[in-house]
Structure 1
Amino acid sequence: MHGWSPEQVAEAAGARLVAVPAPDAAGRPVAGPLRAVIDSRAVVPGDLFAGLPGDNVDGGRFAAAVLEAGAWGVLVGPDHVEAAAAAAARPAGGAGVVLAADDPLLALQRLATAWRRALGCRVIGVTGSVGKTTTKDVLAAMIASAGVSVVANEKNLNTEIGLPLTVLRAPAGTEVLVLEMGMRGAGQIAELATIAEPDVGIITALGPVHLEQLGTMEAIAAEKAALVAALPAGRGVAVLPTAEPLLEPHLRTDLTTVSFGAEHGDVTPADLHGLGLDDQALHVRIDACAALAAARAVGAEPVGPVALTLSEMRGQRLHLDGDVTVIEDCYNANPLSMRAALDDLAATATGRRVAVLGDMRELGTDEHAHHEQVGAYARAAGVELLVAVGPLSAAYDGEHAVPDAAAAAALVPGLLVAGDTVLVKASRGVGLEAVTGALRDAEAAKLRGT
């Protein structure tokens, strides 16, 4: 893309070149796109717009408008080629490239793979049932601290759409790509690995996530291990949690395998000394062990202190008036991550331990038992006040049970006292950040004297 001709872009994407503007004044083809976007509202001059069909809207219908807005070009399905070509030919606007593909998403993915190869960089894939985004964030910060040019997914752009968009925004000269790989069903990790062609693969942890789709823990392990299967023989590096029996059938003798863990493994929290991560929660430091192993695998030894900024709603601490601390960790939840967050609450709270815990979703037929077990774990961790949010969370057996996040947001501010540390955690669909928002609003109202 970056400096590629329209013909090169079309060939890389496996698309047909339907329309192309005249060469510029210097006789060169128009330069290739600086980035690819799928939201027509976000297009700026120079972008390649991929008009992807969706459940509610087919993005290809906006192709003419984005050409008139200055897009470098559009990638559309057959139904939108005629309108896009007409817009590209209009003297008053357009004058962009039109690429056609029967499957625009597949073409976008092929384009990303071609650019990944053109970059010639090292690629690190990150997957797992919990800790993917934190590991990705820590890893990118570590690599940057070593003076190495790195690009990583923004937020949670870790899907079959988000991952290629991440690759395509990497500038020429990028030395390492860190690509988080999410999963919503069988075969998706293999699909993402095919696009990314990773050199290093991290599996952060295995837990009972997506049991509704995959059925068993063995199936979950096999899905995550598709990342290991995609690594190149002889030079690939697999970074895996210590003593995880479910991964043993998927180990490869033609790879270098590096283990990490809280106490045992090739990399442990003791190896993080000097990187400025000592005050992070234990589960973050374990994720950092995986990140350190991967950084070393690509020759990027981090230099501390590492400038780490975690993605939002993944354990950030909010300090409120009245000596109340809120741990906002409500981007997602499963039994494994719930236990880790409760351990952190137990280890760091100096006053009363409060937990606002919502439903954990996609746990399959044993969902009630999983919620019961987390409730018991919370009590063992010293939680003194537990607010359960949602129909499944009733099994936590909390002091308070409410139907949804809105009800929790109305209840929780009135329950807290000075010195409390409050963990707020649930699956993403619960929307439990509403509780944190209500606490912020309550503090702001106090400050205004209302």
Structure 2
Amino acid sequence: MITYEELIDRLKSSESHIVVDSRLVKEGSIFIALPGRKTDGHMFVNDAFARGAELAVVEKPGDYSGPVLVVENTYRFLLDAGKKIFELNRPFTIAITGSNGKTTTKELTALFLESAGLKVFKTHGNYNTDVGVPLSILNQYKGQRYSVLEFGVSQPGDMDRLCSIVKPDIGVVLKVGSAHLGNFPSSEALLREKLGLLKHSQLKVVHSDLIKYLDDFDVSFGPHGDVRLLELSWQNGKTHARFRVFSEDVWMELPGIWHEGMLENLSAAISAVKLAGIDPNFEVLEDFTFPPRRFQFHHVRGITVVDDTYNSSLESIEVSVKCLQEMKKNGLYAVVGIILEQGWNALNAHGELGKLLKAFDGVLVYGSQEMPEVQVIVRNLGEKLIGVFDSKERLVAELLNELKTNDIVYFKASRGVRLDEVVDCFMEELNK
């Protein structure tokens, strides 16, 4: 039977496939059984063995059909294993947190570092939690000398847990808005949690709106920052922007449509890379593509479809609306769902959402009319409301009936609403 020390040594010296979801097991995987609020990984240990796992890490005794390593706490084992693997090479680490744009900022930062000839590890996709970060390390870290990590915060204490795994050399805090606000007692508590990254970081990069809350920082970005956007326009499907990068003015022509929030993410990436002592090569942005469903434009049969369904917040909707109003040629429509994890702030947030959506010529709401959040949106929309739909097929049929050539339709909701499925259904009908 393998011991704890032997397993850690094995993880240090050879490639392994570590999973906490038995559905992701492949031949030779190691399955870590994590207890959870909704289910317990120990219930799926034998399923993991049936799918080809060679070992399971458990904290509860059971009638298991394969070899197990029993530890006191499987969650703590995962964090400790990730920490030990990372500490082997101690890469120079840039950690990024904030309410919107973490993944985009991570991808841009990694791109700049890689273009300088550096070997870079970055967290996979949106694996940004206290479970996702160590999983990314265990499965993908191969001794690279630089790392760019995304730190997501959705509960009090998350930041300290993440920083117990990795000690950042540079901490980057993007703009802090209302995402996950319902999981915190106040907006101030959410802000403190995000800013907690800085106390663990040797060097600090912050959005200029946050300076008033800090005693010290190294570089700022945003409207009043060391790196900031000065001019912005869109022409022929491209974004033209002028930045102040410390004392230098930099003109950029970027592929696709970038709104101000995305350009703030770019400013944050530039700030972090400059602070790391690297001059960013802006030419690499010519080939940059955003992660899927982030303000993604599709042009089909004279209709512009904007898929922004990866997630939602008031702040991201506000910058999107501002950009779309500038681009409007004919009708401007929105298909929206609710913003999740707002808790005590839900009714206020959706009242504000309804007011923002009045900038559109017509709005279709995806959800149940019985939901209080939907009712608040409807109340604030007034005559701009086209209808509320709990069926994607009925919504798509109504939307197709409304749209005309040169119209823009914008899709936005929290990921849990599954509005991406409505987008796919609509695109399928539009392409017929």
TM over 0.5: yes
Aligned to 2:295: 315
* 1:11-410 alignment runs, 5 A limit: 32-55=14-37, 57-60=39-42, 62-63=44-45, 66=48, 71=53, 73-80=55-62, 83=64, 87-88=66-67, 98-231=68-201, 236-244=202-210, 248-249=212-213, 251-253=214-216, 256-261=217-222, 263-269=223-229, 270=243, 271=245, 273-274=251-252, 276=254, 279-303=257-281, 304-306=283-285, 307-321=287-301, 323-379=302-358, 381=359, 383-390=360-367, 391=371, 392=373, 393-397=377-381, 398-404=384-390, 406=392, 407-410=394-397
Q: Is the 8 A contact 1:352 1:420 kept in 2?
A: yes
- The 1:64/1:436 distance shift into structure 2, 3 A limit, reads closer
Say how many residue pairs are matched: 401
- For residues 151-201 of structure 1, give each alpha carbon's deviation from its aligned partner in whole angstroms, at most 9, with x where no partner exists: 222232111211111111233331222221222221112211222222211
Aligned to 1:442: 429
Identical residues among aligned pairs (%):
27
Secondary structure in 2 matching 1:346: helix
Secondary structure in 1 matching 2:57: strand
- For residues 15-57 of structure 1, give each alpha carbon's deviation from its aligned partner in whole angstroms, at most 9, with x where no partner exists: xxxxx9xxxxxxxx99544342223343334543222234555
TM-score (norm 1): 0.80
The residue type equivalent to 2:103 in the other structure is T
Q: What displacement does 1:61 show?
A: 5.0
Q: What displacement does 1:364 show?
A: 4.2
Distance in 2 of aligned mates of 1:369 and 1:69: 47
Secondary structure in 2 matching 1:331: coil
- The 1:7/1:333 distance shift into structure 2, 3 A limit, reads closer
- The 1:70/1:372 distance shift into structure 2, 3 A limit, reads closer
Show structure 1 runs of 5+ residues with no match. 13-19, 21-28, 89-97, 446-450
Q: Is the 8 A contact 1:405 1:435 kept in 2?
A: no
Q: What displacement does 1:403 show?
A: 4.2
Show structure 2 runs of 5+ residues with no match. 230-242
Q: Is the 8 A contact 1:137 1:309 kept in 2?
A: no
Larger radius of gyration: 1
Secondary structure in 1 matching 2:164: helix
Distance in 2 of aligned mates of 1:402 and 1:11: 53
Which aligned runs of 4 or more in structure 1 are off by greater than 6 angstroms? none
Aligned to 1:93: none
TM-score (norm 2): 0.83
The residue type equivalent to 2:361 in the other structure is E
Q: Is the 8 A contact 1:405 1:431 kept in 2?
A: no
Q: What displacement does 1:62 show?
A: 4.9
Distance in 2 of aligned mates of 1:30 and 1:318: 44
Secondary structure in 1 matching 2:335: strand
The residue type equivalent to 2:151 in the other structure is M
Distance in 1 of aligned mates of 2:42 and 2:343: 37
Secondary structure in 1 matching 2:227: coil
Secondary structure in 1 matching 2:140: coil
The 10-residue stretch of structure 1 (200-209 or 301-310) with the greater mean CA deviation from structure 2: 301-310
Q: In proportion to residue count, which structure has more strand?
A: 2
RMSD of aligned residue pairs (Cα, Å): 2.9
